[in-house]
């Protein structure tokens, strides 16, 4: 290293002769050629190193683009769903028996007068979603005056037809590899040609609970479950976390005991999340006998998990408040607690808020601990209370990712897009809050 | 219902206590507030605390013990043939009573005696809840009266209130310790039950993992073998792959961002990396299973390699990507903590930027970087979703990254998801694995945190 640098000093000199006291021209030329070569090599190494750094950043950015791109490509179509137009006649007798499926079937068969055999009719029946009769039923329940009339309705198509319309089946494959029969494709094409099959905005995705049928599955239940869980998490971890931070930063003596607490908190922040799930399973479900799959337990586990995050960020925020503020408050006779509550805490609040939002975002995206406490149950209903069975958005994504139906891949991606949207919103809020309230003392 | 009512009553009484305390304090000195020892609102809080706190403590203690006490009461009234037996049948009986009382169908026609017990249990719970309401409300009213009685010019309300607040603060800071204790105890307790069935040596050094237990004695192929070495090997393999991706990329990205990138680039790159860090792991898992695994497979097939559809490589690469921002932000911190004077000294000697970084900055930052890598390793070991979704469940003992492997976390997740009895070694083995996982990550974290700590003090 040392001799390298010495030689460089000579090599950098542009023309040795022009400087008084420099080396002789002949000797210098011989050395400078070697030096120039070495310098070139060093500069090349410099460029390579810099390029490697840029490549690393580019690679990370590329992965982000590929990840988001592939999910958008897979999921963006889920916000539309295929619907079939039917001319239904609501026969009062059938309506009275709540027998809506035959009504729909008849209306569909009427569009294909050439189909008379049973097999052909069965193909046609399969075009409709098994949830379509319930749609019609809901329509009638809302407006009983419809009974006995003939009207045009748009009902949900089966998920296979939905995927076909979105071009997710390869038509060039032989029938056996495609997974969708030629007869169905022909029927769907006929409907498409007549304009009786079209795509509309998919409200089901946002309002419905889980279902085995992709076209009837939605994330409404999971969103409510996530909200309830997050509510419990927030109600517990925010006050406790801030209190703990205030105690440790403002009041705690510096001794082995508080040192232990501090090491503990740092450790807890790095404990694998699934361990918190085991804790929840053994303590909350096993020992206290709380209900499985409930947002209450999920929220408790998440609260314990986010607590260290909140404590650490709140302590940083409290530390950033300059001592002069405390001294001024104490100087005019405030008690230590008044100093903290009236002066330090309000000033630290924006920082604490940022940490809290980030902690909540993490809790919102967490899956593994919730698997342990049974939030993977198949739940169709939207939960109404903290002890109802529920699932949350990431777990719903996990469950859908396992489903073999093609249409679930699309819905999984859409649910991921929605989850990421919420998370970016939360994190963005945190960044903006930090920008707005950033204060240099 | 009663509990909500009680909570409402308590809140109402606390508000009333605050109002009366404040006004009574002011009245006691004829409105000359300066003569009071404490500001009137402290008197208000004082009374509110007397009204709310004792009742709240009672409420917590009562609700924590009520279910258990009532259940014992009900059990003791049942005939002995039901309540005596091994632990499992009693546990089942308890679960039945609770489920019927809550109105959950148990799936089979229950014993009329059990149904009776469940009814009695529900009645007793109801009775207990109502009496809690009565006792709690009267306690709150009594507290309110007592607190109000104490109000006077000389009452040291502020110190009294502050004492309570401080105790509350201390209790809050103990929650972290309690959590750790809870983790250790629950893992240890269940793991010990597991180790009474399976010897710890077989568990730690056995090479065959197949947790399916035989339902019948003559069943084939479900011997229940709990050698965890294949899981450790799988975890290690995936962690190594993840680190091979995350450490070079993360470190170089950190170097580039802290040493080369201009302000404008930094303001865009840092948030982009933070987005990568904020993506839920289940999303990475989905990406690994649906995009990365087929990609790895098709590349492998093009090279005429035998790639299984769920390969360790795909899971490891995606996990590496997940950990990149973690490594880079921690390394960024330590690199920035290296004082500028060291760099200036190096430049002064004529070194180029990359030479300065390689020979001055990185050696100075090395302990911090090592700590960052250790934390990253601990994260990779503890990561569940990616492997669960992308690397399969087959316990393979292989160093070939193109094969499917399974990891400790994946096994924990799959062993405990779904319905299962709590006493079987299969379920309990998850806690054994959890204990190992906890201890390993704990050691890594402890060492890393200590290194970071000693390192930080150097330049401060």
Q: What tens digit of pLDDT does each residue of A317-376 get?
A: 999 999 999 999 999 989 999 999 999 999 998 889 888 998 999 999 999 999 988 888
pLDDT value of residue B1:
64
pLDDT, average across residues A124-152: 83
Angstroms from B256 CA to nearest CA on chain A: 5
In a domain? residue B61: yes
Q: What is the pLDDT of residues B56-79, one digit of tens each?
A: 898 888 887 877 788 888 877 777
pLDDT value of residue A158:
87
Average pLDDT value for chain B: 84
Domain boundary among B106, B129, B155: B155
pLDDT value of residue A9:
46
Least confident of A266-270, B142-146, B270-274, B411-415: B270-274
Q: Rounded to the nearest 10 degrees, how much is the dihedral formed by the CA atoms of B353, B357, B358, B363?
A: 150
Non-local (6+) Cβ contacts of B316 within 8 A are: B237, B238, B239, B240, B241, B242, B244, B245, B401
- The backbone torsions φ and ψ at residue A212, rounded to the nearest 5 degrees and listed phi first, read -75, -25
**Domain of B392?**
228-457
Predicted complex ipTM:
0.87
pLDDT value of residue B110:
66
The structure tokens 């609040």 sit at A349
Average pLDDT value for chain A: 84
Residues of A in contact with B351 (CB under 8 A): 5
Q: Which residue of B has its CA nearest to A287?
A: B186
Residue B218: pLDDT above 60? Answer: no
Q: What is the Cα–Cα distance from A58 to B249, expressed in whole angstroms? A: 10
Rounded alpha-carbon distances, angstroms, from residue B169 to A353, B84, B172, B412 = 19, 46, 5, 35
Q: Identify whether the C-beta of residue B174 lies closer than 8 Å to the C-beta of residue A261.
A: yes
* Antiparallel, parallel or unpaired: β B209-213 and B223-226: antiparallel
Tell me which residues of chain A, numbers 141 to 170, contact chain B at a CB-CB cutoff of 8 Å.
none
Query: Which of A422-426, B32-36, B68-72, B124-128 has the largest mean confidence?
Result: A422-426
pLDDT, average across residues A218-242: 93
CA A273 to chain centre: 17
Tell me which residues of chain A, numbers 222 to 251, contact chain B at a CB-CB cutoff of 8 Å.
239-241, 243-244, 246-248, 251
Q: Identify whether the C-beta of residue B158 lies closer than 8 Å to the C-beta of residue B68.
A: no
Non-local (6+) Cβ contacts of B302 within 8 A are: none
Cβ separation B286–A412 shorter than 8 A: yes
Cβ separation B189–A282 shorter than 8 A: yes
- Closest to B452 (Cα-Cα) out of A322, A362, A352, A267: A267
- B250 and B350 fall within a common domain: yes
- B264 and B130 fall within a common domain: no
Query: Which of A154-163, B202-211, B290-299 has the largest mean confidence?
Result: B290-299
Angstroms from A71 CA to nearest CA on chain B: 8
pLDDT value of residue A430:
84
Q: What is the Cα–Cα distance from A150 to B355, expressed in whole angstroms? A: 83
- Closest to A64 (Cα-Cα) out of B52, B430, B274: B274
pLDDT value of residue B87:
61
A156, containing H or E segment = strand A150-156
- B131 and B240 fall within a common domain: no
* Domain range list for chain A: 77-201, 219-437
- Closest to B43 (Cα-Cα) out of B194, B157, B210, B206: B157
Least confident of A132-146, A222-236, A350-364, B6-20: A132-146
**Cα radius of gyration rounded to whole Å, chain B:** 31
The residue that leads in pLDDT, A392 or A128, is A392
Residues of A in contact with B187 (CB under 8 A): 275, 278-279, 282
The structure tokens 């930063």 sit at A249
Domain boundary among B107, B135, B155: B155
Q: What is the Cα–Cα distance from A136 to A100, expressed in whole angstroms? A: 7
A305, containing H or E segment = helix A295-320
- Closest to B182 (Cα-Cα) out of A372, A359, A375, A286: A286
- B446 and B317 fall within a common domain: yes
Angstroms from A107 CA to nearest CA on chain B: 39
Query: Which of A84-93, A303-312, B7-16, B401-410 has the largest mean confidence?
Result: A303-312
Task: Give the orientation angle of helix A100-110 with respect to helix A132-142, to 10 degrees.
Answer: 110
pLDDT, average across residues A101-128: 82
Question: What size, in residues, is chain A?
Answer: 441
Place domain A219-437 in its CATH homologous superfamily.
MetI-like (1.10.3720.10)
B199 — pLDDT class (breaks 50, 70, 90): confident
Q: What percent of chain B has pLDDT over 70?
A: 90
* A50 interface with B at CB cutoff 8 Å: yes
In a domain? residue B369: yes
Least confident of B22-36, B44-58, B212-226, B417-431: B212-226
Three-class DSSP labels, A166-203: CCCCCCCCCHHHHCCCHHHHHHHHHHHHHCCEEEEECC
pLDDT value of residue A6:
46
Cβ separation A67–B357 shorter than 8 A: no
Q: Is B300 helix (H, G, I), strand (E, B) or coil?
A: helix
The residue that leads in pLDDT, A71 or B91, is A71
Residue B213: pLDDT above 70? Answer: no
List the single best residue of A64, A74, A229, A274 to mutate versus B (max B Cβ within 10 A).
A274
The residue that leads in pLDDT, A250 or A437, is A250
pLDDT, average across residues A146-154: 83
- Closest to A354 (Cα-Cα) out of A420, A305, A423, A426: A426
pLDDT value of residue A22:
47
Non-local (6+) Cβ contacts of B105 within 8 A are: B99
Q: Identify whether the C-beta of residue A90 lies closer than 8 Å to the C-beta of residue A146.
A: yes
Residue A51: pLDDT above 90? Answer: yes
Angstroms from B218 CA to nearest CA on chain A: 31
Residue A78: pLDDT above 60? Answer: yes
Cβ separation A281–B445 shorter than 8 A: no
In a domain? residue B262: yes
Residue A295: pLDDT above 60? Answer: yes
Residues of B in contact with A308 (CB under 8 A): 176
Domain boundary among B90, B123, B155: B155
Domain count, chain B: 2
- B245 and B150 fall within a common domain: no
Residue B152: pLDDT above 90? Answer: no
């Amino acid at each position: 290293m040392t001799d390298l640098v010495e030689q460089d000093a000579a090599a950098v000199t542009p023309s040795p002769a022009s400087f008084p006291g420099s080396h002789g021209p002949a000797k210098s030329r011989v050395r400078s050629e070697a030096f120039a070569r070495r310098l070139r090599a060093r500069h090349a190494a410099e460029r390579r190193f810099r390029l490697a750094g840029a490549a690393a950043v580019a690679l990370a950015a590329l992965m982000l683009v590929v990840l988001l791109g592939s999910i958008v490509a897979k999921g963006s179509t889920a916000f539309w769903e295929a619907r079939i137009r039917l001319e239904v006649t609501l026969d009062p007798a059938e309506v009275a028996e709540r027998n809506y499926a035959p009504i729909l079937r008849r209306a569909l068969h009427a569009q294909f007068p050439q189909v008379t055999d049973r097999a052909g009719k069965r193909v046609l029946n399969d075009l409709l979603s098994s949830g379509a009769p319930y749609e019609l039923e809901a329509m009638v329940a809302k407006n009983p005056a419809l009974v006995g009339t003939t009207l045009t309705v748009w009902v949900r198509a089966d998920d296979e037809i939905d995927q076909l319309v979105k071009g997710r089946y390869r038509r060039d494959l032989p029938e056996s590899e495609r997974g969708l029969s030629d007869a169905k494709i022909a029927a769907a094409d006929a409907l498409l040609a007549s304009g009786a099959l079209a795509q509309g905005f998919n409200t089901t995705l946002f309002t419905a609970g889980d279902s085995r049928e992709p076209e009837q599955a939605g994330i409404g239940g999971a969103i409510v479950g996530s909200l309830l869980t997050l509510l419990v998490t927030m109600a517990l971890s925010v006050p406790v976390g801030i209190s703990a931070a205030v105690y440790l930063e403002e009041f705690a003596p510096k001794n082995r005991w508080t040192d232990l607490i501090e090491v503990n908190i740092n450790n807890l922040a790095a404990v694998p999340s699934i361990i918190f799930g085991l804790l929840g399973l053994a303590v909350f479900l096993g020992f206290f006998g709380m209900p499985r799959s409930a947002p209450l337990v999920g929220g408790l586990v998440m609260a314990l998990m986010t607590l260290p995050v909140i404590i650490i960020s709140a302590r940083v925020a409290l530390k950033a408040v300059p001592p002069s503020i405390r001294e001024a408050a104490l100087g005019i006779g405030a008690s230590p607690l008044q100093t903290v509550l009236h002066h330090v805490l309000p000033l630290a609040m924006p920082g604490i808020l940022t940490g809290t939002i980030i902690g909540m975002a993490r809790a919102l995206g967490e899956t593994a601990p919730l698997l342990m406490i049974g939030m993977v149950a198949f739940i169709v209903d939207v939960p109404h209370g903290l002890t109802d069975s529920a699932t949350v958005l990431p777990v719903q994504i996990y469950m859908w990712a396992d489903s073999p139906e093609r249409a679930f891949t699309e819905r999984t991606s859409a649910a991921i897009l929605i989850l990421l949207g919420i998370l970016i919103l939360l994190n963005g809020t945190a960044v903006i809050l930090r920008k707005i309230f950033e204060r240099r003392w | 219902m009663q509990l909500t009512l009680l909570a409402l009553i308590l809140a109402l009484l606390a508000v009333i206590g605050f109002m009366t305390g404040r006004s009574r304090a002011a009245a006691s000195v004829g409105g000359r507030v300066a003569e009071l020892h404490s500001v009137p609102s402290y008197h208000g809080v004082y009374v509110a605390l007397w009204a709310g706190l004792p009742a709240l403590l009672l409420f917590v203690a009562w609700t924590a013990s009520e279910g258990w006490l009532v259940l014992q009461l009900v059990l003791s009234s049942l005939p002995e043939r039901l309540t005596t037996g091994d632990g499992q049948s009693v546990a089942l009986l308890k679960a039945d009573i609770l489920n019927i009382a809550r109105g959950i169908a148990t799936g089979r026609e229950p014993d009329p005696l059990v149904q009776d017990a469940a009814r009695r249990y529900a009645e007793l719970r109801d009775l207990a809840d109502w009496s809690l309401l009565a006792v709690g409300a009267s306690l709150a009213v009594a507290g309110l009266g007592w607190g109000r009685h104490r109000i006077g010019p000389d009452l040291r309300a502020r110190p009294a209130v502050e004492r309570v607040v401080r105790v509350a603060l201390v209790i809050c800071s103990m929650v972290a310790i309690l959590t750790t204790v809870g983790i250790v105890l629950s893992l240890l307790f269940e793991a010990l039950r597991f180790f009474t069935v399976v010897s710890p040596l077989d568990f730690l050094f056995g090479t065959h993992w197949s947790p399916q237990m035989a339902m019948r004695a003559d069943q084939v192929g479900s011997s229940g073998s709990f050698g965890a070495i294949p899981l450790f090997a799988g975890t290690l393999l995936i962690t190594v792959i993840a680190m091979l991706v995350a450490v070079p990329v993360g470190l170089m990205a950190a170097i580039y961002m802290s040493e080369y990138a201009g302000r404008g680039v930094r303001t865009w790159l840092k948030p982009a990396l933070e987005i990568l860090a904020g993506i839920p792991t289940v999303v990475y898992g989905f990406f690994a299973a649906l995009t990365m695994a087929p990609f790895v497979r098709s590349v492998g097939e093009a090279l005429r390699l035998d790639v299984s559809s769920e390969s360790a490589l795909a899971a490891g690469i995606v996990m590496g990507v997940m950990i990149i921002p973690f490594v880079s932000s921690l390394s960024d911190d330590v690199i920035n903590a290296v004082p500028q004077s060291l760099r200036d000294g190096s430049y002064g000697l004529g070194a180029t930027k990359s030479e300065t970084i390689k020979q001055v900055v990185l050696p100075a930052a090395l302990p911090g970087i090592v700590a960052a890598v250790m934390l990253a390793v601990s994260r990779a070991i503890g990561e569940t979703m990616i492997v669960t979704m992308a690397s399969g469940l087959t316990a393979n003992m292989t160093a070939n990254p193109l094969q499917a492997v399974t990891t400790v976390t994946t096994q924990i997740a799959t062993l405990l998801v779904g319905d299962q009895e709590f006493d079987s070694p299969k379920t309990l083995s998850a806690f054994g694995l959890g204990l190992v996982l906890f201890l390993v990550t704990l050691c890594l974290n402890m060492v890393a945190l200590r290194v970071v700590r000693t390192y930080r003090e150097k330049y401060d």
